Amino acid sequence: MELLIVGIGQLVTPQARGMELAAHERCYIKIRDGKIAEFGPLDRAPAPSPPHLRELDARGGVVLPGLVDPHTHAVFAETREEEFLRRCRGERYTSGGIRTTVAAVRRASEEDLYQSAKRFLLEMLCQGTTTVEVKSGYGLDLENELKLLRVIKRLDEDLPLDLVPTFLGAHAVPEGKSSSEYVREVLAMIPEVKRLGLAEFCDVFCEPGFFSVEESRKILSACRAAGLKLKIHADELEWSGGAELAAELGAVSADHLLRASDEGLKRLKEAGVIPVLLPGTAFTLNAPFPPVRKMLEAGLPVALATDFNPGTCLISSMLFIVTLAVMRMGMTVEEALIAATRNGAWALGLQDRGVIAPGMLADLVILDLDNYKQIPYFIGHDRVRYVLKRGEVVYAHPSLCQD
């Protein structure tokens, strides 16, 4: 099956490596069997369509690789707007919020969890996200962690997005348990999670008051031995030593890093760990933004994600995250777009997407904008016109059905 996208005003893509963004004016893209076959200047586009070649007109818009969101907690029950509003009035963030959601998840049926997450994930898709990592972590016992992971698996099968499942049993210590007792429980969950094939990654909230470096090391080492890839919530609310631990264990990514030390960053670079930054969380918590310039200067391939969750960040749009990264964190628009596409894919261990080049997956977003510099500038506008997943149009803006 072939598809020809014509009328591209600007084709924007990261290169295979480095932090230079390429922008090509007036292009076409030819897609075959879900992958990019070729792209080039419009005047060299293949001749008028034979019957097997479908055509899509980008109407002068900007084409980007599908956005990759490598850190979300999108499966949960109920909402926490009261807590959010109390925090807006100065209250401090605590682990109590996670426990509220845990109680709600334990009450919820699998079907309710499925329907609520489906809605959020489709919202992400309509905003250009084509690959999303989703964590468990609101069950905090075997039965409920498996319930969340089964929901993620079903959603991956049913929705056009690719979901990457992560086991986050160590998200918080459940009420009434000591942390050492609960760490033993998490260790006992790992073989079952692995046996059922329900997770690709394991993650731990390594943070004072949640899981210490020693406890995190125990859990992550056991996950690694079971064949899961590793992620760490590191140095979010306080410096935790989480970045150093990510490097020591060879994690694929270390996430948050608001308070990471210089030594921690150096070790991430040496160990090839991808830093995943979540400016939506810093924005929502009114916390300092991570030291991104330091990371980029150190040559770290920074990725961006939403951290979409009911407590610390309800932002579902990666385009808005790009805006925040540019406005508040000091990234250039070029760096932010690379971080939201190719580097996000790397943070999930995926090399087959996030770049527009022959052989890569044809996951694409078409924006109704004149050029990519308008992406952070049109803050929160509704400019996604088409989303393609593996070469299929999986979203078209409603306004396109009217003309």
> Please, which of residues 63-102 interact with ligand NIG by CB under 6 A?
73, 97-98, 101
The closest of 367, 364, 368, 355 to 393, measured between CA atoms, is 364
Residue placing its CB nearer to ligand NIG in the complex, 66 or 264: 264
- For ligand NIG, the closer of residues 211 and 346 by Cβ is 211
- Chain centroid offset of residue 266 CA: 24
Whichever of 164 and 333 has its CB closer to ligand NIG, that residue is 164
User: What is the C-alpha separation between 171 and 309, in angstroms, rounded?
Assistant: 12
Among positions 216, 312, 316, 341, the unique one binding ligand NIG when judged by CB under 6 A: 312
Q: Candidates 307, 334, 335, 368: give the one binding Fe ion (CB under 5 A).
A: 307
Which tokens belong to 182? 């609960």
Q: Which tokens is 255 given? A: 């996430």
Using the contact rule CB under 6 A, the part of the chain among 5-13, 24-32, 150-158, 308-316 near ligand NIG is 308-316
Locate tokens 């919202």: which residue?
123
Q: Of these, 72, 240, 281, 341, which contacts ligand NIG (CB under 6 A)?
A: 281
Answer for the pair 364, 357: CB distance below 8 angstroms, yes or no. Answer: no
Which residues are registered as beta bridge partners of 386? 366, 396
Across-strand partners of 236? none
279 binds ligand NIG (CB under 6 A): no
- Tell me which residue of 156, 65, 116, 115 sits closest to 367, measured CA to CA: 65
236 near Fe ion, judged by CB under 5 A: no
CA distance 229 to 383: 35
User: In which element (H, E) is residue 229 found?
Assistant: strand 229-234
C-beta of 182: minimal distance to ligand NIG in Å? 16
Residues 95-134: x where in contact with ligand NIG by CB under 6 A, - otherwise, as a string: --xx--x---------------------------------
Min. distance of Cβ 92 from ligand NIG in angstroms? Answer: 12
Residues in contact with ligand NIG by the rule CB under 6 A: 73, 97-98, 101, 205, 233, 236, 281, 307, 309-312
